[in-house]
Structure 1
Amino acid sequence: MPAGSDPLTPDPLVSALLRSDRFRVEREADWRRLDAIVTAMEKGRLRRVPDADLIALPQLYRTVASSLSIARAISLDAATLGYLEALVQRAWFVVYGPRSSLGDWLRGFLGGGWSRSVRGLGLDLAIAFAVMCAGVLVGWLLVAHDPDWYQALVPGQFADTRVPGASREALRATLFGNSQQDGMGAFAAYLFSNNAGVSILAFALGFAFGVPTLLLLVQNTAILGAMLWLYHGAGLTLDFAAWISVHGTTELFAILLSGGAGLHIGRAMAFPGERSVLAAASEAGRRAAQVMAGVVIMLVVAAILEGFARQLVDNTPGRLAIGGFMLALWCAYFFAFAPGRSPGHAGSRR
């Protein structure tokens, strides 16, 4: 005992240790029980956890979280604090964290979540579709009025034989019998990369009340309108439409969804109703983000079609069959396939 100390006055260090031991003894049983439940669930042994423990799990989590709060308030020893902090963090993910695996999420997403989100953009998709059709018409009318507009709309690196005044034979040669040629393959690759970029921008620019999204849709589809005018003049409208439909029906559908998603956010911000602008944008953003996750899948499918199907099928009926089938498939999935809420979509199991 230090010299001069009062033997009747408790040593502060001894008091702190006694307080720590008493605190642990009174609550340690709950800590260990929660630790055992969390460990079993983390190791995927949920079936081995008794029903009584599962029922008690939320209450145990709150009890241990309360213990942590008290431990911090009374400056408990560092080892106990560290143990409680780690246990509370682990238990939080078990109680409140997501329950579904990646496979479960994919099943919920492809099994109805994606299509529901797309149908939730009904008005926005209608507006985007009308704007895209207007863009094609604008491109056609501009070059029909003044062919010089063709050079302004169509990228210069592809203005080889595909220019106003080209013969029917020259234009037809760009559509058939060129699966091993770089020219048309490069043009198709450009269309894919361009459409992928447009899809991302159409969504990202939606926050500006959707105006940049509309302009981008018009600009992109005006290129298609100019090309259609060129091949129509040579009597190759159906052949060109068949060539581009192989992957174009999927790519253009992806652009339509991206444009609709961007407009959905912009429209929610412009007309939030009784909600705040932030709340409206947040709600619209969650739905639009799920649509965009599916757009990525569509662009991958389009890349496969462009890289293989377009090269292997060298006739108009075959190309129309592929393009028409893909269009019917997407339409059926988005607008005819309407299952109930799946577990993956509804959220985690409590």
Structure 2
Amino acid sequence: MTDVLKSYRFREEREADWRKLDLILTRAENSGVKALSDEDMATLPHLYRQAVSSLSVARSISLDQNVINYLEGLCTRAYFFVYGARTSIGERIAQFFREDWPAAVRGAVFSTVLATLFLFGGAALAFFLCLQDMDWFWTINGHNFFDMRNPDASVEDLRSTIYTTPGEHGQDQLSAFSSFLFNNNAQIALFAFALGFAFGIPTAWLLVYNGVTIGAMYAVFWDKGLGYEFTGWLLIHGVTELFAIVLAGAGGFIIGGAVAFPGRLSRLASARAAGRRAANVAMGCVVMLIIAALLEGFGRQLINSDVIRYAIAGTTLVLWLGYFYLPRARRTA
């Protein structure tokens, strides 16, 4: 009970300054620094130092996690306006990919695991349902599904969709295909992230739906004895593409969790704080989707060796896992 009272008093004594800092930052973000008065400019560094001090104390007394997340976001925003002028755009971008993005992903392990379970759980469900009865494929994809990769296709027809002959695809066709795939996958990732505000329910549905589509297609090739070949064809780009979609979904779940369980903050304040953390997770997914589109539009169509396909897939998996999850030394000023 004593800890609860201390926590309440701590917040009550400082919350007015937090909100004042938040108001100044919001005005600067919406209208630019020129919109700030001389008083705001003079007060900003002081309020920033107070917020950093509050964050340090909040961590030491194990204050409500949502409040800590709110203060972390507040301090990050304030730091940009207090010290951001000393850093060039190039340095900020480099810092994002060097430190901010991997750190954000490492801090979202639970949401990432949850998104992975929804995506691959849907794939596993559809895979086993279709193996038991291929009518499930048509239920999932609809009877107007005209792609030749369906249960009625012969082994030879299916094989022709995962191996290409030299000269079959022109460079312009591959470029157009790559562009189409990037746009399609970017939309999936965007919706998985953006729909998180609705308690994460649409995000979960979208991940399951995409997983079901993959699982049903996988069952078709597996049933024809082409599981090994199709896996290599899929994973050469799928490791990067599915990882990006999972991270976008994780960002959606971060926001959804904050809205569903705001703690002592209002739902809006909780969602705002979570949105900044989630954005750090999801923003880099655009780069991943560009890489996946290049691998899918070019590499997957031009490389017919199963061994090379698996080697590329394994290499990309190791690189992404190492980039996100291996500990690294912090740079000091």
Matched, 1:230 2:217: no
Tell me, yes or no, if the aligned pair for 2:221 and 2:227 is still in contact at 8 Å. yes
Q: Label 1:248 to 1:189 Cα distance change in 2 as closer, same or farther (>3 A).
A: farther
Aligned pair count reads 256
Superposed CA deviations along residues 104-152 of structure 1, whole A, max 9, x for unmatched, are 1122111111000011111111111111111101221332344233234
Note the C-alpha offset of 1:228: 0.8
Percent of aligned pairs with the same amino acid: 43
Tell me, yes or no, if the aligned pair for 1:115 and 1:338 is still in contact at 8 Å. no
Which structure 1 residue ranges, 5 or more long, are not aligned? 1-57, 64-92, 344-350
**Corresponding residue for 1:214?**
204
Q: Label 1:112 to 1:172 Cα distance change in 2 as closer, same or farther (>3 A).
A: same
Note the C-alpha offset of 1:98: 3.6
Distance 1:94 1:228 in 2: 50
Note the C-alpha offset of 1:190: 6.1
1:322 pairs, out of 291, 309, 312, with 312
Distance 1:181 1:155 in 2: 29
**Corresponding residue for 1:175?**
162
Q: Label 1:266 to 1:160 Cα distance change in 2 as closer, same or farther (>3 A).
A: closer
Q: CA RMSD in A?
A: 3.0
**Corresponding residue for 2:86?**
99
Distance 2:144 2:105 in 1: 36
Note the C-alpha offset of 1:277: 1.8
1:126 pairs, out of 94, 106, 113, with 113
What is the correspondence of 1:141-290 to structure 2 with a 5 Å cutoff? 141-154=128-141, 159-178=146-165, 180-181=167-168, 192-290=182-280
Distance 2:323 2:239 in 1: 14
Distance 1:230 1:115 in 2: 37
Q: Tell me the TM-score normalised to structure 2 length.
A: 0.69
Superposed CA deviations along residues 285-322 of structure 1, whole A, max 9, x for unmatched, are 11111122100111111122123222331111100111
Q: Label 1:95 to 1:195 Cα distance change in 2 as closer, same or farther (>3 A).
A: closer
Q: Label 1:309 to 1:330 Cα distance change in 2 as closer, same or farther (>3 A).
A: same
What is the correspondence of 1:45-56 to structure 2 with a 5 Å cutoff? none
Amino acid at match of 2:303: V
- DSSP 3-state at the match of 2:162: coil
**Corresponding residue for 2:75?**
none
Distance 2:144 2:168 in 1: 15
Tell me, yes or no, if the aligned pair for 1:203 and 1:262 is still in contact at 8 Å. yes
Note the C-alpha offset of 1:221: 1.0
Tell me, yes or no, if the aligned pair for 1:112 and 1:341 is still in contact at 8 Å. no
Distance 2:110 2:331 in 1: 22
Distance 2:331 2:262 in 1: 26
Q: Label 1:217 to 1:105 Cα distance change in 2 as closer, same or farther (>3 A).
A: same
Distance 1:341 1:254 in 2: 27
Tell me, yes or no, if the aligned pair for 1:192 and 1:251 is still in contact at 8 Å. no
1:115 pairs, out of 83, 98, 102, with 102
Distance 2:292 2:257 in 1: 29
